[in-house]
Amino acid sequence: MTVPIIVMLLVTAQRLSELVIDRRNRAVLLAQGAQEHGRGHYPWMVLLHVGWLAGLWDAALGGPLWTHGPGIVPVEPAWLAVLLTMQTLRLWVQATLRQRWTTRVLVLDGAPLVRTGPYRFTNHPNYLAVAVEIAALPLAFGMAGYALLFSLLNATMLAVRIRAEDRALGRRQEAALRAG
């Protein structure tokens, strides 16, 4: 088994495990009365991530989209290290949010905003990790154009997603109150 295939198996397993965690946590949150926000963009976000993974799998397997042969995907260790660092950040986010972590925007009325863990430094640490991963993995495979394309698509998606999440969590109102 080649390094790119091992990396892709690990990344795919990680993403699939997140769907299992999401399903469990979503059920708990909905049972507690949480409301979902920004539902309309969610299928597009899933499509973006599935497309990203599919193209990377094609490259790792030496598919017809790429000029190299099977198993001849370049692997840049520095970009793999960046990817691993972002995986660590994702795990820190999940450990901080515990049952409140999902792939959707679910809000429990009256629940305080999380301000511990990586949330001490930024409102959206998971999106930071995802944005860097979207670029780092293709760059680890020497796919700069692919990294740029999906980074731009992801930036567009995150603009919609973060706006929906901030609105749902009342962050804009909170920031306006502090400023005013």
| pLDDT reported for residue 61 | 83
The alpha helices in the chain, defined as continuous H runs, are 3-31, 42-60, 77-97, 125-140, 144-169, 171-179
pLDDT of residue 174: 57
The answer to whether the CB of 30 falls within 8 A of the CB of 106 is yes
CATH class of 3-179: mainly alpha
Identity at 165, one-letter amino acid code = E
Do residues 14 and 53 touch, judged by C-beta distance below 8 A?
no
Sequence-distant (≥ 6) Cβ neighbours of residue 146 within 8 angstroms: 55, 56, 59, 138
DSSP category for residue 103: S
Whole-number mean pLDDT of the chain? Answer: 90
Read off the pLDDT of residues 114-145 as tens digits, 9 standing for 90 and up: 999 999 999 999 999 999 999 999 999 989 99
Residue spans of the domains in the chain: they are: 3-179
- Let me know if 105 is exposed, middle or buried by CB neighbors in 10 A (0-12, 13-18, 19+): buried
pLDDT digits (tens, 9 = 90+) for 88-97: 999 999 999 9
53 or 176, which is more confident:
53
Q: Is 98 left (phi over 0), alpha (psi -120 to 50) or beta?
A: left
The arithmetic mean of pLDDT across residues 164-169, rounded, is 92
